[in-house]
Structure 1
Amino acid sequence: MYDNLGGQAGLPRQQTSAQQPNPFGNVFQGAGPGIIQSGLGAYGERILGSGSEYVQSNISKYFSDPQYYFQVNEQYVRNKLKVILLPFLHRGHWTRIAEQVGGKLSYKPPIYDINAPDLYIPLMAFGTYVVLAGFAMGIHGKFSPEALTLQFSKGLIGWFFQILLLKASVYFLGSGESPLLDIVAYGGYAFVGISISVLARIAWSYSYYGVLIWTCLCMGILLVKTLKRVLFAPARSYDKDTSKYHYFLLCVALAQFPLFFWLGYISV
């Protein structure tokens, strides 16, 4: 009887406590996830928004628009190769064509401006240089994956040295920040002449040094003309002493000779 009554007396108390409604339950279940989700969403948008602006600002400052450098066509490539290999025959101006886009000053892409830098020609010329180097090794029976990899690394080091040379000149002369891809493009044009020199060595070894000197001289003229009109123009406007600019331009042109001879040499 006692157990029976105890059980009957305890049962209603357990049911009452279990079924007692929680006045805050619906509030936290309904509003809590919504508040947390909206708060995290706003915070995430703020972080992503600021991060995106930071990345875009740095890309535009140092790298510009990568797609800009590949807006080329067949006519541009043909005319640009003429400028690279025969720069003294270029009768037009050497300055880039500027335009206003969204209230900001920008330059027309290579397809509309022969003086604009591009990355299509440097990359294709670099690939051609590596292929011709491997072909030259194969003709003399010295081809191997290790040798080709070494030549590939040698080309990258030479390109990197060219970039450092141009970047250091721009920085020392105080002409402001230039997009890094501009410097990469200008430095990569050297592989056009180097590839032609390697091809001349394959076709007729006696013509190698003559072609190498010629292409090296043309590259020096191209860099002097381009840098003088494009990269050093802002610095010259604030400095009346232009003698140091001419000396640096001369050093850049003379530096092409050891660079061309080093990259053009293939151990065959």
Structure 2
Amino acid sequence: MRKARRTAEAQQDPGASMPYPQYGYPPPGPHDPNMYMAPPYNPAPVYQPAPGQYYTPQPMGMPGVDQAGFNMPTQILQNPAIANMALQYGQSLVGQGKEVIDQKFNQYVSTSRIKYYFSVDTAYVAKKLGLILFPFTHRDWSVKFNPEEPVQPRDELNAPDLYIPSMAFVTFVLIGGVSLGLQERFSPESLGIQASAALVWQILEILAIWLTLFIMSIQSKLTIFDILAFSSYKYVGMIVVIAVSLVMPSAYHIALIYISAAVMFFLVRSLKVQVLPETPGGYDPEEGSKRRTYLLLFMGGIQPLLMWWLTRHVALPATTT
């Protein structure tokens, strides 16, 4: 009876240990009710800048890496001697690259030759424009040459240049845009199409003339820049034709006929002195003269066609009542 009471008291006592603990494990201690509760939350203090100060974020470092190694290139570049050496080395590289580009470019195009075609002044431009539009009264079409160096266009009226053709091309595109605007047909796309069409036809014209010279075996003083210059003088006449159509639309065809005749006469007379006669060893001098005449007629004859083709959609049409 007493033994049964002791067993019951042992079962009722929560702090009593197990009568037979498992082998290899220590006997369990008294139960703590707070052992499974989370510790109290203590938030980290938030940085509050003082009035008038700004927060500057600090760079985060990588664990196990010395942060001083990242600042080494910056410290090297901050050295004046090293910075000057790097600057001089970069300038030398740029200079060497420019020399290589100039050498490669000069193998195909001579910059001094291009500068020659743009050596003009105001007096030359005014006289040349008058010669293109009114060539019928001009007598001396010969080009004077200097034995030491070629005569620049500003010193020789009959010499070809590229300044007037380039400016005339840009002006033609702009005045074409004005004409399209007055017709309420202007758009950036139409202006681009006009410029692209004129450029494509110009390239085709130069290729056709150059191919004709090659096929007919005609010896001449003409270079690719001379052909470009003479074939681009028509833009001066095209500007006049469009300007006349803006003032008087009904006079478009009259202006086109006169300007076409003037440009064709100017081109034939200017190119006539540029084409060399056949060599004495040729088979037939008369046949060579005919070929040169055909070349001049071809170059002069395509000018009115191109002028009409490039201005027919741009010029202000005559109003019909």
Compute the TM-score of the two structures, normalised by the length of structure 2. Answer: 0.60
> Quick one: structure 1 residues 161 and 216, their matched pair in 2 at CA, closer, same or farther if it must change by over 3 Å?
farther
Q: Which residue of 2 is the match for residue 124 of structure 1?
A: 167
Cα shift at 1:177: 6.8
Match of 1:59 among 90, 109, 134: 109
Give the conservation status (yes or no) of the 8 Å contact 1:96–1:107: no
CA distance in 2, matches of 1:125, 1:208: 19
Q: Does 1:155 align with 2:203?
A: no
Deviation digits for residues 126-165 of structure 1 (CA, Å, limit 9, x no counterpart): 1111111100110011110001111111111222233223
Structure 1 match to 2:77: none
In structure 1, distance between residues paired with 2:231 and 2:133: 14
2:135 to 79, 87, 90: 87
Aligned to 1:137: 180
> Partner residue of 1:197?
241
What is residue 224 of structure 1 aligned with on the other side?
Answer: 268
CA distance in 2, matches of 1:261, 1:221: 17
CA distances 1:30-51 after superposition (whole Å, capped 9, x unpaired): xxxxxxxxxxxxxxx9xx89x9
User: How far apart, CA to CA, are the structure 2 residues paired with 1:238 and 1:111?
Assistant: 37
> How many positions carry a matched residue from both structures?
212
Match of 2:311 among 261, 264, 267: 264
Letter of the 1:80 partner, please give it. K
Answer yes or no: is the 8 Å Cα contact 1:175–1:233 preserved in 2: yes
Rg bigger for which structure?
2
SS of residue in 1 equivalent to 2:147: strand
Structure with higher helix content: 1
1:104-119 maps to which residues of 2 (within 5 A)?
Answer: 106-119=149-162
Contact 1:85 1:193 in 2 (8 A): yes
CA distance in 1 between partners of 2:181 and 2:220 (Å) = 46
Q: Is the contact between residue 64 and residue 181 of structure 1 (CA under 8 Å) also seen in structure 2?
A: no
Aligned to 2:52: none
SS in structure 1 opposite 2:184? coil
Which string of whole-angstrom CA distances, capped at 9 and with x for unpartnered residues, describes residues 220-249 of structure 1?
11121111101x125477651212221222
Amino acid in structure 2 at the alignment position of 1:220 = M
Q: Distance in 1 between matches of 2:249 and 2:120?
A: 34
Match of 1:26 in 2: none
Query: How many percent identity over aligned positions?
Result: 30
Separation (CA, whole Å) in 2 of partners of 1:142 and 1:224? 37
Query: Which whole-Å CA distance do the structure 1 matches of 2:210 and 2:170 have between them?
Result: 23
2:117 counterpart residue number: 69
Question: Which segment drifts farther, 79-88 or 154-163?
Answer: 154-163
Q: Do the aligned partners of residues 238 and 154 (structure 1) sit closer, same or farther apart at CA in structure 2, a change above 3 Å counting?
A: farther
Instruction: Compute the RMSD of aligned alpha carbons.
Output: 2.4
177-186 or 147-156, which moves further after superposition?
177-186
Change (3 A) 1:237 1:59: farther
Match for 1:144: what amino acid?
S
- The runs of 5 or more residues in structure 1 that have no matched partner are 1-44
Mean Cα displacement is larger for which, 140-149 or 240-249? 240-249
- Report which structure shows greater RCO (CA 8 Å, sep ≥6): 1
With the length of structure 1 as denominator, give the TM-score of the two structures: 0.72
Output the CA distance in 1 between the equivalents of 2:105 and 2:177: 39
